[in-house]
């Protein structure tokens, strides 16, 4: 159950930040090439770094702006001079938040409420898609996603197993049901 909730949280977090960043890079994503589960996997896993050296993210193991970020989130201010914040709640309780620095938009750092790094994403813009690689706080690959077109995304775990396939606002899972941001729907099969 915890693993399922963690994966769903991960997918939603990736999507929220991917779409927010993609708004500025729309022309890159909308190149017109369509992917399927197999072609997306092949494209994502070639030349994929499975481990990131700690020197890449060492300065962000603790949120250097934690107090200001938490206060801004409480005040519903999500854009500060040098960074953009994205809070994640359960009901009314802040669970974690993400930080993207404006001068380093290709990296998204996710923190718990104590300012400890939970994970980070590295975003690459290719000619016909956006690639997002998720890494643990230890630098190990957790997942990778491909966003092609503005309405489709494939998300895989570190072993290449499909975690999620988004089409528009619907998440089509391997268990033949669709999840939407409003709840669960039965598929027509």
Q: What is the band of 171 on the pLDDT scale with cuts at 50, 70, 90?
A: confident
Q: What is the mean pLDDT of residues 127-153?
A: 90
Q: Is the pLDDT of residue 79 over 50?
A: yes
Q: Is the pLDDT of residue 52 over 70?
A: yes
Q: Which pLDDT value is given to residue 3? A: 53
**Alpha carbon distance 76, 183 (integer Å):** 25
Cβ distance 134 to 121 under 8 Å?
yes
Mean pLDDT lowest among 30-39, 53-62, 125-134, 170-179: 170-179
Instruction: Give the structural domain span for 141.
Output: 2-186
Q: What is the mean pLDDT of residues 74-102?
A: 95
Q: Number of structural domains, the chain?
A: 1
Please report, for residues 83, 132, 140, 144, 186, the alpha-carbon distance to residue 49 in angstroms, rounded to integers and kept in the order given: 26, 12, 9, 11, 37
**Alpha carbon distance 188, 27 (integer Å):** 34
């Amino acid at each position: 159950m915890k693993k399922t909730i963690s994966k769903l949280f991960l997918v939603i977090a990736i999507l929220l930040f991917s779409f927010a960043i993609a708004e500025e890079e729309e022309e890159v994503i909308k190149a017109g090439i369509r992917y399927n589960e197999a072609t997306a996997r092949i494209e994502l896993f070639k030349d994929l770094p499975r481990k990131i050296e700690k020197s890449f993210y060492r300065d962000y193991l603790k949120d250097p702006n934690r107090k200001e970020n938490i206060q801004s989130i409480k005040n519903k201010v999500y854009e500060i001079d040098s960074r953009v914040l994205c809070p994640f709640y359960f009901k009314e309780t802040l669970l974690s938040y993400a930080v993207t620095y404006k001068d380093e938009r290709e990296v998204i750092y996710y923190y718990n409420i104590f300012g400890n790094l939970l994970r980070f994403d590295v975003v690459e813009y290719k000619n016909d898609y956006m690639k997002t690689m998720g890494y643990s706080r230890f630098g190990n690959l957790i997942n990778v996603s491909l966003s092609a077109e503005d309405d489709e995304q494939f998300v895989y775990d570190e072993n290449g197993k499909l975690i999620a396939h988004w089409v528009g606002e619907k998440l089509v899972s391997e268990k033949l049901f669709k999840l939407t941001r409003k709840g669960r729907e039965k598929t027509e099969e």
